[in-house]
Structure formats: structure tokens, C-alpha cells
A and B are shown apart, each in its own frame.
Chain A
């Protein structure tokens, strides 16, 4: 048993690719060893900008000899069959063995694969690993690149160290031969170093100013940056992405703190941080009060005699960048946001959905509607509309042109600077939120209205033009937009999707076809939430009865729109599952149908979740299931049977409020003496039904559940004391009807048949 060291040296490997390269190196190595039957111990991989390294522990010196045997035709089979078997297994006829298989002499081919020196296996594996390496971007170089078949690597491959134990594994790829020699730090130790093996590799390189272990370098960057900050009485603004990047750019990281001119602090701190981070990969620091300080931390790759020289160079570069940023900051403010917004006409949002200016107009209408209708309580309609009209204006500012990630944020700063109300400035700043899971969800009413309108507009627009997400492809981030809508609905009084979407559809179809009868027709459909089926039927109708481009476009609108409810429901389930809600509870509420108010839907799921965590919930469920089973067994479940017997179905109109009392009357049964438990259940239902209905009406789903909970004891007692299947047909029917009434009552709150347990 011995250890194996592999080092692949390269001209500077991009920092962002190093983590992937480590994973790939280990995977390819393991695959090669597995294929060759080499068992080995732990594998470690490291990277620096100039090398990938791997150490595999406990490698054998030889692979085990393996014997493989294959069963062939029986003795006496036609020559053709026997020869074919021999060819297939690479043996000659006289090498075949004959063995008895269930009384028949049968040919066997036995192949003895001898063990191999692992050194030879590695000599083949290394070139194979290098050739198969999946770099995100690779290139050719040097003399060999006269052919496009030449090796491709992330940057020129410059050296290979491959040592098994103390022996060189000899191999060559693209003119690079393996050896014992590697290079130390580019500047601190320009000469060659001879490596003995895996034991001295790390330490020899360390002596030559190379820290091979990327995690160790990350630790150095993190810790020394913190130390430098605290030595200056500041706090480092932690940034793990920068830690990893700087560790990927250096073999000998030396964080250094510098200061920039205090006057730049007039520029918003986010801008300074982003400038420092994106362009220069510098950390920034906060002062004791938590405000951004005029300090930066760069990470050098050398220990210089006079680090001040390096710091000063970096300071100048940052100053030039900050001076640009300040220029943008000042220039942008010379123009009001409303003026900037006019330039949005020049930016295409999507070729079929118009310019960003068009989108802004749509958002403004929809946002205003959300405010006026009280969908978002507390949102002042005028402020909401103003915020919506300005929310994208910063896209044409110099600052956002330079730093697109500052969209929204800059708009917020500029809005405040020109004296717009805070609610408007906040809405402009935060209307992109929530951007993903874990992002803050706005709760300020104006912000919620603008954000909702923006996302609804995007969702409806792309569905109208048939740009649906498929599989892993969601180029317009419609899933994210939908999840954001769901999250934002927490701040809504109600959010009737069909209504909101139909308003959005109206804004999309534009003023120019306002007089078009078709548009009216379409919007009526959009408002009628029998959605899916009707819309698809209408699409077919149009496609069949109209011809030409217009018909196709219109048919597609319907198809597109018809897909929204299902897409929404799917997102809702995903979101609820991720929020820890049981999927069967979601189904139980969704299965009721007819509810398009997102707020009510979610409230009901939430109430059901709490209820099912109580003993009342689980017992009621057991009672429900038992009742439903009996009804099913007795066939007391639909109109069919009753219709067949010619009797009126007492439950067919159970959901109709006008006949509810009649049904209840029926449920009380005929003129026989009810047993006490039976009567108790009737009494309980008489109380619970109106209570639950009233609670649902009030959107108080917790109370609705509590009303149901009152049925738990009566139903349990009923099952204990009363025989449903009484000989007396009248009693039996009455009791089945009572159970059906119970089931229907429960069903009004949620479809309990979907709940597991």
C-alpha cells in the first residue's frame, strides 16, 4: 500500500472554475480507478490558480488478478455456434473447458485477467483524465494548435507531477511529460522544486510560498482581513464569495488594508461596496456605528518589503472607480426620474410585449387597481400609481447602466433625493423583491401593490404570448414571479386571481383594440373562472372557425391564459410544501375548487394544518373516513342509485344555501325515535353547520375548524352506540343520510378524503 500524488499545473485557472475542477478531478480519478479495479483509500483534492492537486491514500501496487468465465453452448453444438462463442470471448477452441450443467456437458470459456502494476494503470489513467476534463471553457495553444484536434484545457497545461509512493508514473500529454519537478510561487520562488511524493508535497510547496490547500488560503484571507479591519478599529463586512475568489486568485494571500478619500462616502454605500467588490475584489469595512468606513481590503499574492506601495496602487485604482461612480451619482440626479422614465421607450422588454415604457404603463394601471379595490389594504392609489410609473426609471441611469445589480436601489435613492414621499421611494427600491427564496418579502402597502403588479404583468404577458416555462427552462423566471406573488399575498386583504389576471389581460391587449368586440369577449372569458375548459374550448372554436394570423394569435391567447391556473396551483403546492405544509392538506383544500382568492386559500390551508395537529383533528378525520367508507359500501354516495330508485336525492343540492335547510330537515329522518347518540349528532350538526358556514363566510377558518371539532365526540359516540345498518330500512336510510350530512358538513371546510392518516 502506498500513496499517489498527482499535480496538474496550468497557467492561471479562473478562480470561479476551481471548485468545479476539484470535483471533476476527484470524480474522473475515481472512475478511472474503479474501471481498472484499483481499490484505494481516501482521495483529497486541492487547487491554486496554477495547479490542481490530488492525493489518493492506500493505493495497491498491483491490481488483483481476475478470473472471468462465460458459459457457452453444450458439447456437440454446431461448429458455427462454438466458434462464435470462442470469438466473442477471445479464446481458441482448445482453451475451452467442458463442465457438467444439469447433466449436459457444456463449454465454458475461462479468461484469466492478470493483475497489473498500478503504476501502469495510472500512466494510462492520467492522460485519459486530462483529455476528458470538462472545463466550462477551454482553449488550444502552442505549436500543436495548428490542428483543431489538439488538446483543449482551461489555459495552457504546463506540467504534470505524478508520483506513486516514491516512483514516477511516466506519462505524456500534449508534449507535457510527467516528472518530479514542480514550480513554487511565481515571484517568491521562480525556480523548480523536486517533489519526493505525497508526504512532502504540501510542505515543500509551503516552503516555496505556495499554500496548496484552498481551504487554508480561504481561512487566511478571512482571518487576516478581519484582523486588518479590527487593527484599524473597524469591522470587516463579511463576504464569503470574495473570500473564495481571492483565495482562487492567490497562492500566497496577503490581505492589506487601505483607505480611500472620505469624500467618496457621499456616494451610497451599496455603490461603493459593489464597485470595490465587482471591479476590484476588495472587501469593505464598517465603523463601530455600523456605517461604511472609508477603507478597503485588497488581497495581494506576495509578501512585499513595503506593502504600502501595493496598497497605494490599489487605492488609486479604487479612487478612479469611485470617481466614476460619484460622477454617475451626480449626473443621474440632474434629471428627475420622470424624465429618465421617458427613455424607457427605447428599451425593448420583449419583442411581443413592447417596450419597458409599455410595461410601466400596464403596471401602473394594475397597481392602481390593486390599491383602489382594497386588494392591498393601506396602499394609497395615487402614490401607488406614481411609484409604479417611476419604478423602472433607474434602468436608464448611468449608475444602473454601470451596475445593473443596483436596479431598484438607485431608483429609491434618486426618488428620495428629489423629495418624493418615502412610501414611493421605498416602493421603487423594493419592488423587485422578493427575488428568490429567503429574500425579504415587502410588507409596505405601496411596495406590495407595485411589486405584485409587476410580477402579475410579467406572468400574464408571457403566458399570453405562449412563453411557458418547460422542464428546467424558465428563461423569464415565471416560476420565481409566481412564488413572489404567493409570498406577497400575505400582505393582501384578498387576491382574487381571476379578477387580477383579467385586469392584467385588459392592460396587455392595449388601447388600440379597445373597440374590438373580440377584446370584450375575451375579457369576459378571462373574468369567468371556469377557466381551463372554457378557454381551451374557445381556443379550438377560434382556430376552427377563423383563418389567418389574427385567428392564430387569438387562439393562442386563450391557450396561454388557460394554462395560468394550473401553473399557479402547481407553484402554490411547491411553495406550501417548502413552507412545511403537508401535500395532502394542500390537496384537501385545493380539491374544493371554485376558490381563486389566494389569501383565503392559504388561510384555509394554514387553519387545516393547525387543526390536523390536534387530537380533535385526527379523531374527526377517523370519523369522517369511517362515515365515508360506510356510505361508499352502502352505495350512498351519488345521485345514480337514488335516481334509479326514483327517490329524490336529499343531498344533491346540499351546497345550495337555499336548500340547505330542507336537506337538514330531511337528514333528521322520519318518524321514529332516534337513539340518544343519533340525536346528539343531529343536534351537534345543527349547531356546527351554521357556525362553520358563518366562519367560512367571515374567512375565519380557525373558527370553522373549531366548529367541526365539536362534531368529534358526537360522531365517535354515534359509531359506538348506533347501528347504521339497521333492519328497519327507514332507520337505515335516515342514518346513512345523517352520515352523508356529516360528511358534507366536514367537506365544506376541506375535502377530508384527500387527507392521509
Chain B
């Protein structure tokens, strides 16, 4: 008991927040204890796990709570645990930072559109530039795009782009009356909640498409709904709402694929540079609204991109995967028909 107590006093003082990962700590303490306990019976080599031996006939008359030195000797810890490397974890975390800063950028654009700091036409112009730049980057960086290129596919992509853009264009006037009867506070609160849901549910490491998993689809739906809600608060010219929706399509629908291409094609340093640029761009976009908010956005990105990976690698030493003879056996059926 003393061991467990000591273990907990030291650990809970130092690592209070890491206790989630330290779930199995006491078991380690008991293992230590069992071995201390066992020093006494090192001479009794005869003991083995045998229930058929009647204790009364036993030479040593060991009590039933006897704990021998062989107690837990078949315990295997962390047989399948893969050690994590801090650089790799940080590189992987950049995907999350990208999504965070792009979402921040999107929200900031909406604020500027509302306050007429930028016009809808400017946003449309930037969006077109971005689309062209992103397509070029994809083809240059990820050979998968170039390999899969056919005229037919390109025409199909253009058709899709046209349909989506036209849809957004014709729906923009409808959007302006969508939330007329709802207060701005409600709409903004909902938008924030939806964007948080988007960030939480987003499939950061998708293989085929970002919406292959149910959560990925929900995440995209939440983001699009948030952008529709926000666009509905832009009442002046319809072009603002149209620009906002087009931008949201680029940020939430297309950007994951572009960023995947960037991650594949760029070196780690160049990729980190892109991430830093994106974080700074986000901060710069937020700065006119509130300097402290801009600082906070950089802080959040630093927390996610640097502190969290360090933390994750640090708590790896508390990982205790327990395996032993008590585990349910796995069916081995190779070669069986």
C-alpha cells in the first residue's frame, strides 16, 4: 500500500494533468511490491502454479495468499507499443494547424466583408487566383495528379466547378433572407459551434477522400452550414454572399486535397514554412479586428503544433499495455478451409 501511496503522491503532484495516461500506474507499483515480497521465498524453488496439490500435504504449508517470486512472471508490458518520435508527431500535427488557421481566416474574411473592409469582388478575385495556384501546385507536387490526368477528367472537373459556382451564384440572393427572423447573436453562436464541430470531426488523415468516413462527411456538412449561416448575415450586395460561399467551398472542400499534395511534395522544412506562413496570414487577417484575438490565434496554433506533440511524446512513458496468460486466446485459422 505504501508503494501505491508514494507513487501517487509523487506522480499526482508532478503530473496531475497527465493522469489520464497513467491509468495503469498502480499496477506497476503492485508488480514492484510483489517482487519485494517474493525475496522471502527465493529458497522455495518448488512452488509452481498447481491447484491440484493439497495444501495440507504441501511440504511448506504455504498459506493460500502466498505470493511467490514467480507471481506475474508472465506479465508482458507494451509488447505492441510503438515509440513516437517528436519530429514526426510535430509534422503530422501541422495538418491540424492548417485546418485551424484556415478556419480562422475564413471567419476573419466574413468579419471584413461585413464591415466592408474588403469587397466581395476582391474576395472573388483572390479565390480565383488561389484556385489556379492550388491546381498548379497539385500538379507540380503530387505526381498522382499528373498521372491521373485525362482530358475527360479535366472536363468533368470543370463541369463540376461550373455547377457548384453557378449554384452558389443563384442561391446567394436566397441566402440573404435566410436568417432574417433570427438574431445575429444566435447565428454567430451557431456558426462558432458548427466550426468547432467541423474542426473536431474533420478527417485529418484521410486516404481516399475527406468525406469517406461518416465523421468526415458530418464535418464538411457542419462547415458548409456555418458558411451559409454567415453568408446570410451579409445583407448588402449579393456578390458578398456569393464570394463568401465560394471561398468556403475552396477552404473546406478543396483545400484538404491541396494540403495533402503539399505535404507529399514539399520537404519537411518547406512544409513547416507553409504552415508558419498560414498561421501568420491568419493572424494578420484577424489583427484589424482585435490584436489580442490575433495573438490568441497564434497561441492556439503554437499549442496544437508544438506543445501538444511534445506533451504526447512525454506521456508515452506512462503507456502500460498489459498482456499475460489471462488474455483471451486469438483464433489461429491460417490454412483452414
Report whether chain A binds chain B: no
Interface residues of B (CB under 8 A from A): none
Interface residues of A (CB under 8 A from B): none
